Every structure is written in C-alpha cells, then in structure tokens.
Amino acid sequence: MSDFILKRTIFAALAASLIVGCESGDSQVTDTLTVDSTGLSVPLPQRIRSITALDPDDISALAMVNGVQVPLSRSGDGSYRGQTQVAARSTFPVTIEFSETFSGNKLVLASNSQQLSTSDSNASVRLRRYEYDYDSHDSDNDSVSNIIEREEDTDPFDGTDSPEMVGVSVLAQRPSALGSSGFSDFIVEATVGNSIRRLTASASGNGFTGEFRVPRRTPLPVTVSLVELVTGNDFRVSNQSQQLSVLTDQQSVVFTADAYSAEDRDGDGQSDLAELIAGTNISDAGNSPVNTVSYTVMFSVPADIQNPQNVYAELRAGSRSIGLSRNTNNYSATDSATAGDNVTLKSDILDTFNGQPYVLATAQTTVQISGNGQSVVFTESDFQLDIDTDNDGVANYIERQQGTNPLAANVVVDPVSCSISAVPAVTATAGQRVSIDNISGFVDCGSAPFVLASSEFDFEWNQATDQIQWTVPANTAAGATLSFAIAVRNPADDNEEYATVAINTLVQATECTVTTEQFVFTPTRDVFRSNNNVVAAGPLRVELGQRQALIGFNISLPEGELVGAALTLTVASDGGNGTISVFHDNTLVWSESDDSIDLPVLSSAAGALTQTWVPNQSSVIPLTNLFLSSGEFTLLLLQTTGNNDISFNSINNSDGPELTLSYSGCFGS
C-alpha cells in the first residue's frame, strides 16, 4: 500500500484570491480539503482575517492528522502549510486549530474537524464556513467566545471584561420559488453580524430556525441564504437580508417566503434555483430549461359545503403537490410544465375530524399545456360530492353538516327499542353546580347524540362517562323545583325523538349576594403530538392534520354558575395563519413522559379563533360548552384551517397557557 502527502488546498486559482472573493460577497461558501502529493495547505478562515486588531505574525495553526500533530507555517500567500504521511485507501480524522498569541498566552480562536477518506492518489472533503467551531473556545468562561471578545476588543482572559450579549432568533420560511418541486439538495444558513450557522428545518419542511448570541451592536445585519449542495461548490443561489436598527434580548427576525433574491450566475434568464430544480447547469448559459411555460389553476369551494372558511384544499399535478393561494373561498396556483405536455390535475376540498383529514369533494381533469399563461378552471359541476369514506350511505360533506364521524360508520338507532331509565330527583342550593354520575339505562340507543330538550339554563351531558351536570341559577327562589329533560334524537332529523327522561331539582333556601368573579388556572402539564409521537420539551406546536397540543389541568372549581370561559395563548417564535380550535375532554389519561397518546373521539369544539398568529403576541380564545368538574381534564389544540405550523409558549414559559373561568354565585357568604 502506497503512502502519500495530505494537502489542504483551494484550487490553484482560488488560493491567491480567496480573501478578495470572500470579502466581496462571493456566493461560493465552501472550500475543499484535498489530499495529494504536495502537502497540507490551510487558508486562514475569513472571520479571523477580518479582525483588524490581529497581527498575522501572532497567528499560528496546528493540524491533528490521524492523531498526529502537524505544525503549520505561514506561507507567502497567507495560507498555512505542513507535511505529513497518511495511508492510501483509508479513512482518518483531520482537525485544524487556529490560535493567537495574546498577552504572551495561547488563545484558541477556531477549530474544524472532518473525516477524510483517501483513494490511491487523492481525496477531498468540503469545508463549510458554518462548520468552524468558534463558540466552544472561551478562555475566561464568561459565556462569550474568544473570537467575539477579539472582535469587540475586550480581554478574552478576563471574565469581568466582556461585551453585552443578546439573543437573536432567526426564522426563515421556505422560499416560495421552490414551489412543490421536491428539490431538497440544499441547506439554509444564516449570518447574524459575524456569526454564521446552518438553520434547522422544521418537521414540516416549511421553515428553518436558529438561535444566535451576538454582541449588542446596531445596525446589526442579518442574512439568510439558500445554499445548493449539487455542484460541489455550495453556491448561495437565493438570499435576503435585514438590518436591525433596534436590538433587544431574545429578538426574533422573520424572513418571508417570497422575499428571496433570484441569482442567475450564467445570465441565461433562468434563476439558479429554477435551473437546479430543472437539473440544468447553473454556470452554463447554453444549458438551461427550454420550452418551460407557466399556467394557472383556479377553483372555489362548492356551494353545498357549509362553513367553507373552515375547510382547506390540496392540488396535485400528477404525483406532485402544488402550493395554493387562498382568497376567502377561492383558490389559485401557478405551476410550470413543458409546452405540449398533458398534465393531470386533481383538486381536493378537505376537513379534519379529530385531527384526521378526510375529503369532502374532488375534481380531476387532464389538460394539454399549450402556452405561457394558460388558465385551467375547475367549475362547481366538476366537483364530485358523493364521497363516503366510511361507506355508511351518508356522504362526507353531509356528515360534516350533521356533526357525525365521516371516518366511521354511524350506528342506526331503532326508535322502538331505545329507552332511558328514570333519574331520581336531587336537592341543591341556589348557585350550586350539580352533578349526577354513572347514569345508566340508555338501552339500544346506539351512538345517537344526546341533546338538551329544554334550554332554560346551563346543562351538559358527557356521553363517554354517563355524567350530567347543570348549575342552579343563583337567583332561584327557595322551595322551587327546576325541571328539564334530556332526549335521544335522530341525528339526521332533529324532530324525530326516540326517548326522553325528566330531571327534577329541588332548590333549598340560600341567602347571599350574587357576584361574578374570575378565576385563572395554569396547566399542570402540556405536550404536543407529532404523528402520535409525544414531544414534551420546547413550545407547543400545532399543524393541520399533523400535530396537536394537549394542555392538562387539575383544578378545584368554585360553587356557582359558569358564565364565561377563555383560553389565553402566546405565540412562540413560529407564527402563521389559520384557525386554532380548542376541544375539551374529561376522560383522556396521559403524562409528559408518554411515548404516544391516542386522541379521544372529539365532538364540537369548545372555541376557535381564526387570525394571523404573530410571534410573541397573546390571543384570547372564548370557550363555550365546557363540561367541567373538579379534578383533571384536558384541553386539546388543533389547527383546523391553515397551511403552516404554529408554535405556542408552554408551561415552561412565564407567559404560558392560562384558563380563565368566570362564575356567578354566592362567594364569601
């Protein structure tokens, strides 16, 4: 087996011009570590070169190659070179460390570690700028890295001499130019001041986030870039920047999907990103997408679908998903295809039941794309509405109107055999919340909904636990008898009543002053589900059909009549648009340490709010139809409209969820 020499090089032409290229905003963001017979050559990282207070004579470099130290000397072109032997056809670690002699002591500024695999004659590996480790080198342990202290001209060996630091959160939305192309050979990096790092993609892939600690200095430039991983050069092909003129701690910076630049390095009129998606050469004007034309698809929610503001739509061209724009109940999308191609377009109108999506209407057509600007319109008659997912003879859109489950066949109730046992009379005081547990005797009534036959005052039925609750109005006279009835009715015909039972309440004398007071409760636990996986750390995330948040309470309710309820939520760093619906459940048993949680069967929402959810802003969702009793219960958050995920502060934050209940009663008597 032959041995050969390791070399860190930047191609012959680039080695001499690296400083100029980087400082002038070169869109190439990677160097290449190459092994050949001429030695090891390492250029000084751009961030270190940019510190004017550094004397090049005080900078030293050291390589650790397969566990062996290799001293490096500065050459005439500013790079650092050394000699070492490594085996061919092997894989070994390489670490480069850059230091400064500061006040007579060694001050480590940066390091970079890679795994390198060699062939018979050479090897190479990309070195990306965000892969340099600056943060872990902190000689005075003041939580400020050595390189930041040198950039800010503070003493890196004195823990009392440090620059003021602030936190900056960066959120970059997925560039709209990507559309639904499926192109994934890219990363998104962010530069905040002098700090650069790769952003982390969200689970949905629609956003990228990163946290920075930087000196408080304004104006502070912040840039995000989409970096391609196709050519081997890691070019920045799409960018956008902001200048922060006011800087506060834990500040958030949001980059929107449609504000990225469109780079075109070969000047062929096609952006680099469009060429990467099409598979053509971004550096060759003679190799670009040809005969590509755009077309528009438009449709509206069919009129037979009630409450259209709560549904959403999907559009596919063949197997590709196409992003849609929404204006009230109208949808549109722009896509591209090769002129002359036949494209099969399929549009679905959907809703969710207990977090599970189902189709309400669908339309499909195949069209030939003839030229640029062509429009394809789905009319109302194009949509098929007889979709019956559970094959119970009732179409999904009708089950949605009736409030029944479109994903499970409904139980047919026999009105002859359905019966309900009598409920004994109870005694209560004015203003008291009354509960009767374990009601039995609902015989052969199937799964028909139990509805209130008398709406004189607040009444709630929990079919899952056979429990009824109601509140005696605080102004009820002593000695009165309150009577109402519950009934089992045909879910398809509210006038068809199967069985009823009377509820009688004997009211005792109570002398008091009726007042209304508010009680604020904080949760005891919270998590969110992502495809049935439980996540207990960080913010609570909700996403249409994908993620649901669970907020658990354990409270002791006051005596009195519940006259109002609201849930307060504060958006974390990830905002969005759409409807957040709140569901209430008394039966779900779960903890933050569970690996998975099965959602219960949910009825109608206790409350919902449709708006733009802005990071760091609080919103109040009014709640009704709450079936509350002292002890544990769960509020579930579901996104029921919208096309991007939203995060909310959890109980780990000072502005986490709060439940406010307003009661009217005899408090303090």
Tens digit of each residue's pLDDT (9 = 90 or more) over 402-442: 777 888 766 555 555 566 666 666 677 777 777 776 555 55
Site of tokens 């000196």: 215
Average pLDDT of 176-180? 80
Q: Is the pLDDT of residue 296 over 80?
A: yes
With a cut of 90, say whether residue 156 has pLDDT above it: yes
Highest mean pLDDT among 75-89, 145-159, 286-300: 145-159
- pLDDT greater than 70 at residue 35: no
Mean pLDDT within 557-573: 87
Of the listed ranges 243-247, 363-367, 607-611, the least confidently predicted one is 243-247
The arithmetic mean of pLDDT across residues 497-514, rounded, is: 61
Q: pLDDT value at position 140?
A: 94
76-85, 585-594, 639-648: least confident range: 76-85
C-alpha dist (Å) from residue 257 to 72, 174, 178, 236, 244: 45, 5, 9, 16, 19
- E strands, 339-403, where? 342-353, 356-368, 374-377
Contact 218, 248 (CB under 8 A): no
Work out the mean pLDDT of the chain and round it to a whole number.
80
Here the tokens at position 16 are: 């001499």
- Residue 509: pLDDT above 60? no
d(Cα 79, Cα 58) in Å, to the nearest integer? 14
> Which CATH architecture describes the domain 515-665?
Sandwich (2.60)
Mean pLDDT of 128-134: 85
Give bridge partners of residue 488 from the DSSP assignment. 450, 499
Amino acid 3: pLDDT: 36
- Residue 192's pLDDT is 94
Q: In whole angstroms, what is the distance from residue 66 CA to residue 63 CA?
A: 10
In 430-560, where do the E strands start and end? 433-436, 450-452, 459-462, 467-471, 481-490, 493-508, 515-521, 525-530, 533-535, 540-542, 547-555
Per-residue pLDDT band for 465 (boundaries 50, 70, 90) equals: low
- The yes-or-no verdict on residue 169 having pLDDT over 60 is yes
The CATH classification number of 165-255 equals 2.60.40.10
Peptide bond into 219 cis (omega under 30): yes
> What's the CATH fold of domain 292-402?
Immunoglobulin-like (2.60.40)
According to the model, what pLDDT value does residue 65 have? Answer: 84
Give span(s): CATH 2.60.120, the chain: 515-665
pLDDT for the residue 555: 87
Overall average pLDDT of the 570-582 stretch: 92
Residue of higher predicted confidence among 492 and 111: 111
The CATH 2.60.40.10 portion of the chain extends over 165-255, 292-402, 426-508
Of 17-26, 322-331, 343-352, which one has max mean pLDDT? 343-352
Q: Which architecture, in CATH terms, is 426-508?
A: Sandwich (2.60)
The predicted pLDDT at position 21 comes to: 28
CB atoms within 10 A of CB 532: 12
Mean pLDDT, residues 19-29 taken together: 37
Which amino acid would we find at residue 173?
Q
